[in-house]
Amino acid sequence: MPPFAFDVAHMFAGGLVLVSFMMLYQNRLLALINVLALHSILLASSVAWQAHIQAKPDLYITALIAL
């Protein structure tokens, strides 16, 4: 795997951690729902990226479920 693939995977992981911390500071329900939607999109993107770089098409199904 090229180093770029690892960099993108680490970027997705860092984004998931950042969005998880964003959830802690939401006071209103609508804001929390928006952050949860962002977290879902980021998680699905992360799984789809792993499916792409590992050439495992079954992970694309998992990415669709995460949405």
pTM > 0.85:
yes
Model pLDDT, residue 67: 87
Compute, in degrees rounded to 10, the torsion defined by CA atoms 28, 33, 41, 13.
50
Tell me what the mean pLDDT of segment 19-27 comes to.
Answer: 90
Read off the pLDDT of residues 26-58 as tens digits, 9 standing for 90 and up.
889 999 999 999 999 999 999 999 999 999 999
- Helix axis angle for 3-24 and 29-54, nearest 10°, is 160
